[in-house]
Amino acid sequence: MSSLPTSPPASPPGGLRLKLKLTFITWLGLYPTVTLLTVVLEPLLRLMVLPLRTLLVTAIAVTVVRFVTFPRLSRLFAGWLERA
């Protein structure tokens, strides 16, 4: 019969610090992207109901951040991230 662990497994060193840094970098890319999309798409967004506006802006923003902004920010902040 195996014994149950008495405590949760330890997280890797700097795990929480790295998560916080990645969260900050994500926000750093997301905020200006959403702001720019809202300004550029404003005439179109005005014609839509709120759920559709939110759907459109978030779909574009997540795609841009995931494939364009975040990789560039990750390279830019690589040294800082490695010191997590």
- Here the tokens at position 12 are 């890797």
Indicate the pTM of the whole model: 0.74
Percent of the chain with pLDDT over 70: 82
Which residue has 């010191």 as its token pair? 83
Which residue has 């702001």 as its token pair? 35
Q: What is the pLDDT of residues 21-51, one digit of tens each?
A: 999 999 999 999 999 999 999 999 999 999 9
Alpha helices in the chain (DSSP H): 15-40, 42-45, 50-64, 70-76, 78-82
Give the residue extent of every domain in the chain. Answer: 32-82
What does the pLDDT read at residue 66? 96
The mean predicted confidence, pLDDT, of the chain is: 89
Q: What is the pLDDT of residues 57-77, one digit of tens each?
A: 999 999 999 999 999 999 999
